[in-house]
Amino acid sequence: MSIQYRQCCFILLLWLPAAILAETRLPVFDTHLHYSEDVQTMIPPGRALEMLDAAGISRAVVSGTPGPAVEVLYRLAPGRLVPFIRPYFTSAQRYTWFRDPELPDLLRAQLARIPYRGIGEFHVAGTDAGSATVKAVIRLAQQHRLVLHAHTDLEGLELILAEAGDTDVIWAHAGFDEPIAILQRLLDQHPHLWLELSYREGITEADRLTPAWRQFFSDYPQRFLAGTDTYSPQRWAEITDLVADVRLWLAQLPADIAQHIAYRNAERLFGRDG
């Protein structure tokens, strides 16, 4: 038996468990889906739902700018979609909403349109996360028992967590590149913090799950959420591949941990039924 043949067999054995589990089409509860006006223009709601089917996304948290596109999509599949409302109504407001004293009242007026389950994904950073407007939005979430989905840096997250109390907070992208040690500290200190994994750096190297992240997932299996972040029509066009990439590293985990991250944690957060 040649050395080259033995090496090929060894590589095949390494990848076989991942291939088997990925082939089973593990359901994914996507907790970072956007369906904004620009997407709706190119991908009608019915087609969007077909694309979720093709990707094997069983349920999804969905938000958009502005919100009416989300409302249309939600009404087509209310049992499947978990609607979130963003605290801005145009893309430009993404950079100013946290200074707008009228924003909380405007947001409150929108909440009755459909049964929103959360606020976000919203962008804010640094000390802006401690503004009076952000605090008012957090109070609104507390009053209506809504989940917060924050795209922010470490300083901003800690300000939000200090204000949020026992309100659930999802950290979009799990901080992008914050060290695992910091993430561990945050999870230990804040039992209502969840880490959403789209665009998170360091999880894999050459498509293989890194030892550090394998251990992290094993230590905190019930604190992570899967996501794709379909912020543009192009990301929607790639959604099947994006979910396949998630399944590839999930397949390298024990089945129970993979299931927690893929859908069970989100079901605990939002309920098993729509």
Q: What is the pTM of this model?
A: 0.91
The closest of 204, 223, 206, 199 to 214, measured between CA atoms, is: 204
> In tens digits, what is the pLDDT along the chain, a chain of 274 residues?
444 544 444 443 445 454 444 445 899 999 999 999 999 999 999 999 999 999 999 999 999 999 899 999 999 999 999 999 999 988 899 999 999 999 999 999 999 999 999 999 999 999 999 999 999 999 999 999 999 999 999 999 999 999 999 999 999 999 999 999 999 999 999 999 999 999 999 999 999 999 999 999 999 999 999 999 999 999 999 999 999 999 999 999 999 999 999 999 999 999 987 5
For the record, the structure tokens of 55 come out as: 């990707």
Question: With 0-12 CB in 10 A as exposed, 13-18 as middle and 19+ as buried, what is 6?
Answer: exposed
Rg of the chain, C-alpha, whole Å: 19
> Structural domains in the chain?
26-270 (3.20.20.140)
Edge-to-edge strands, sheet with 224-225: 28-34, 57-63, 81-85, 118-123, 147-151, 169-171, 193-196, 224-225
**Token reading at 149:** 């989905």
Element (H, E) at 184: helix 180-189
